[in-house]
Amino acid sequence: MSVATIALRAPLVLVPGLGLDDQLRKKAESSAGLPPDVSQIVHDLNELEGGAAVSVSPANGKYKPSLLVHTRAYRVRLEVTNRGTGYFVKHIDPLRLADHARLARSCLLVRPPAWRMVFELRAVPEGSDAQWQDLEQAWRSLGQAQRQQRETPSFSEAQSEFLETVDRLIDATEEITTREEREAAPFPYQRLTTTGGKRSSAPQSVYEFHLIGRELPPTGAIVRLQGDTETRGKVNRAAGSSVTVRFDQPVSWERLPARGALELIPSNVIFNKQRQAVASLRTWGARNAGLLPAVVEHHVRTIPATTAQPHEP
């Protein structure tokens, strides 16, 4: 987690945006934790002794560059006024898991002398300053520090050995669990039909294969025509002496031999996902940068004390 504390020189003044009261009333009907009215916002912000957790949200098609300011139960989106004297409160939303995940990666702890609210733009006190440039610069510096940390990581010997062991474990598990599929005999078929009952020259995705013998590939197995790497499909149904296969891509009737064989394809999706996870740990791309030290060496971050209290018993 990357955190930077910024103490501002002047209070921050908020102005409720148009329709904020109605927005708050509607959202409060379905979401707990929202303030009873907009004036409560500055009270809740001023109660945050350590400062308000803030992230800078870039401009998109819906919003201008803005601040996402978090209380203990909800967040507000603030857009700087044209003259840079304060902020319009554009939106208010309850805290979601995505907010917690974003704050866990990085945030600013913003500590103005006070948070204040006026209810129309002309009531903003003369000389007020949103200090937007200071906040934007602090956010950029925080991002640069994060990138530098990622560019110069170092693994302990124990961490390197752990990752190599996991790599070998994935390879061995794949070898063992897919051996039966790789060594399985093909399933010869004597004829095939389209599931709709009508033969067509147009490519189709689903065909029924009438097999020779009693052995059938299991339902859900990944198969292909023997020797044809581009006819990958999944067995949707296996009953009697026939199997129904849905191919990943439509296949023309002319391409399918009248007599041939199906063969099993070992699925490596799970193992590839596991390798991707190990690769993200090697490049420090995991969302939780403390995961590897915690798992290997049992090093965990100290959980800071909080004055937060539950809203409900």
Nearest to 129, CA basis, from 45, 8, 270, 24: 8
3-state secondary structure of 156: coil
Give the amino acid at 99.
D
- Cα–Cα distance measured from residue 62 to residue 152, given in angstroms and rounded to the nearest whole number: 36
Instruction: Convert the pLDDT of each residue in 222-271 to its tens digit.
Output: 999 998 878 889 999 998 899 999 998 888 888 899 999 999 988 778 88
pLDDT score, position 201:
67
- Cα–Cα distance measured from residue 139 to residue 108, given in angstroms and rounded to the nearest whole number: 7
Token pair for 86: 């304060």
Nearest to 48, CA basis, from 23, 80, 73, 21: 73
In this structure, how many other beta carbons lie within 10 angstroms of the beta carbon of residue 291?
Answer: 13
Per-residue burial over 173-185, b if 16 or more Cβ lie within 10 Å, else e, is ebeeebeebeeee
Instruction: Convert the pLDDT of each residue in 134-156 to its tens digit.
Output: 999 999 998 887 766 655 567 78
Q: Find all residues with CB under 8 Å of 66, minimum gap 6, and list them.
A: 56, 57, 77, 78, 79, 80, 90
What is the distance between the terminal CA atoms of the chain, rounded to a whole angstrom? 30
Tell me the sheet residues that pair with 261: 188
- Strands 233-239 and 222-225 turn out to be antiparallel
Nearest to 177, CA basis, from 270, 263, 262: 270
- Cα–Cα distance measured from residue 93 to residue 63, given in angstroms and rounded to the nearest whole number: 15
3-state secondary structure of 218: coil
- The strands making up 74-80's β-sheet, listed across from edge to edge, are 2-7, 106-111, 52-57, 66-70, 74-80, 87-94, 12-16, 115-117
Residue by residue, pLDDT tens for the chain (313 residues) are 688 999 999 999 999 998 899 999 999 888 888 999 999 999 999 999 889 999 999 888 778 899 999 999 999 999 999 999 999 999 999 999 888 888 888 899 999 999 999 999 999 999 999 999 999 999 999 888 776 665 556 778 898 899 999 999 999 998 898 887 788 889 999 999 887 656 666 788 899 999 998 889 999 889 999 988 788 899 999 988 999 999 988 888 888 999 999 999 887 788 889 988 888 888 777 777 788 888 888 888 777 777 777 777 6
Return the ∠ at Cα 302 (arms to 300 and 303), rounded to 5°: 115
3-state secondary structure 34-67: CCCCCCHHHHHHHCCCCCEEEEEECCCCCCCCEE
- Cα–Cα distance measured from residue 106 to residue 102, given in angstroms and rounded to the nearest whole number: 7
Nearest to 52, CA basis, from 112, 116, 118, 141: 112
